[in-house]
Amino acid sequence: MNNDDGFLLGELIISLPLNIMLLLAIVALMTIGFRLYSSSAGDWDVLEHVREPAEGIVMDIRYCEDFRILNDGIMVTIVHGDGTSKENRYRLKSGRLFRNGQPLMGDSMLSKVVVTEFRAERVDDYHVALKLEAENKLTGRAFAIDTTVTAYRKYANEKKKLAAGSH
């Protein structure tokens, strides 16, 4: 069987369909893998779209001088080291979260982010319960952060005032 003339017709007739089926299986597996990867990456993107603004709001509340709960969000007053103050207003409008009128999140190539819920509730004078939920409209999966934040600076400043007044 040492024939160097090439393939026999029978060998080609058998191997060609097998090779085509093998290639189609590889293409199908790659397509499924790409779709799974795109879906997972899109959901990760939405998770980041929820986490980053929530961390910013938490930091503002944690170090604020005062906060006010509004019908459509929260107003946080921050006093800087040089004595100047700034108010940040967070609110939900048309499926987007805004700070002082500027959107905090948007769509990307991997996801279409819609904020389904933003809620800030006063627990007591120093604590705010926050909930931020967003959905990836491309996959239908939703992600939420639900936390309670302590306004440490407000608490510390009021304790200082009480201590100074009692002497």
* Amino acid 48: pLDDT: 81
Domain locations in the chain? 9-165
Please choose, from the candidates 68, 70, 69, 45, the residue with its C-alpha nearest in 3D space to the C-alpha of residue 135.
45
Q: What are the structure tokens assigned to 145, written together?
A: 């952060």
pTM of the model: 0.70
Q: What are the structure tokens assigned to 151, written together?
A: 């306004």
What tens digit of pLDDT does each residue of 3-41 get? Answer: 666 778 888 888 889 999 999 999 999 999 888 887 777
* Amino acid 46: pLDDT: 79
What tens digit of pLDDT does each residue of 77-107 get? Answer: 887 777 788 899 999 888 888 999 898 877 7
Region 104-117: mean pLDDT is 79
Phi-psi region of 100 (alpha: psi -120 to 50; beta: other; left: phi over 0): left
Alpha helices (H) in the chain, listed in sequence order: 9-62, 152-165
Average pLDDT, the chain: 85
Region 44-60: mean pLDDT is 85
SS3 state at 30:
helix
* Amino acid 89: pLDDT: 92
Q: Are 166 and 78 in contact (CB under 8 A)?
A: no
CA 146, CA 130: separation in Å to the nearest integer? 6
